[in-house]
Amino acid sequence: MIAATKRKVLDGLNRRYIYGRVPLLHTIIFLIEMAVATRIAAKFNTYYAEKPVLTTMVTNAVLGGVADTVAQLITAFQARSQQRAVDDDNSFISIEIHDLDKQKPPAIGEFGHARSSPPPFDFERLTRFMAYGFFMAPIQFQWFGFLSRAFPLTKANPTTPVFKRVAFDQFIFAPFGLACFFTYMTIAEGGGKRALTQKFRDVYLPTLKANFVLWPAVQILNFRVIPIQFQIPFVSSIGIAWTAYLSLTNSSDES
- Residue-wise pLDDT tens digits, 184-232: 999 999 989 999 999 899 899 999 999 999 899 999 999 999 988 889 8
| Burial bucket for residue 91 (CB in 10 Å: 0-12, 13-18, 19+) | exposed
Name the pTM for this structure. 0.74
- Residue-wise pLDDT tens digits, 53-75: 999 999 999 999 998 998 888 88
When divided into structural domains, the chain yields a total of 1
Residue 65: which domain range? 2-254
Torsion over CA: 185, 189, 195, 199 (sign): negative
Contacts with 138 (C-beta within 8 Å, 6 or more apart), sequence order: 53, 56, 57
